[in-house]
Amino acid sequence: SSELTQDPAVSVALGQTVRITCQGDSLRNYYASWYQQKPGQAPVLVIYGKNNRPSGIPDRFSGSSSGNTASLTITGAQAEDEADYYCNSRDRSGNVVFGGGTKLTVL
């Protein structure tokens, strides 16, 4: 299967650490990338590859992977981190796959 599965919703207390996961068979062979999307805005890349952050992304965002699961960790979540988060990867045919998205609430 080339599908990626994410929890629909996750919450975290302000300043605490949260992990958002993404599961799928393709992740055994290919890295996931992660995107943050706030209401009415285009998604923004926050993590790609093994654990790389584009310029301008705070270092509280990090990525990891084990087996068929990729994780996005936010260490010390801030109010501005409240958003939808999507993972994506590829399958063996070179097609792109996206997770269904996780809505992060910062309490």
Partner 1 sequence: QVQLQESGPGLVKPSQTLSLTCTVSGGSISSGSYYWGWIRQPAGKGLEWIGHIYTSGSTNYNPSLKSRVTISLDTSKNQFSLKLSSVTAADTAVYYCVRLQLSPYFFDYWGQGTLVTVSS
Which residues of this protein are in contact with partner 1, per CB under 8 A? Answer: 30-31, 33, 35, 42-45, 48-49, 54, 86, 88-90, 93-101
CB of residue 11 vs partner 1: minimum separation in angstroms? 19
Pick the closer one to partner 1 by CB: 15 or 29.
29
Strands 9-12 and 5-6: unpaired
Distance CA 36, CA 32 (A): 14
* Cβ distance to partner 1 smaller for residue 10 or 45: 45
Bridging pattern class, strands 61-66 and 69-74: antiparallel
Per DSSP, what are the bridge partners of residue 105? 11
Residue 11 CA: distances (Å) to CA of 56, 74, 85, 97: 24, 12, 12, 25
Least separation in angstroms between CB 14 and partner 1: 26
Q: CB of residue 43 vs partner 1: minimum separation in angstroms?
A: 6
Q: How far is the CB of 95 from partner 1 (least distance, A)?
A: 6
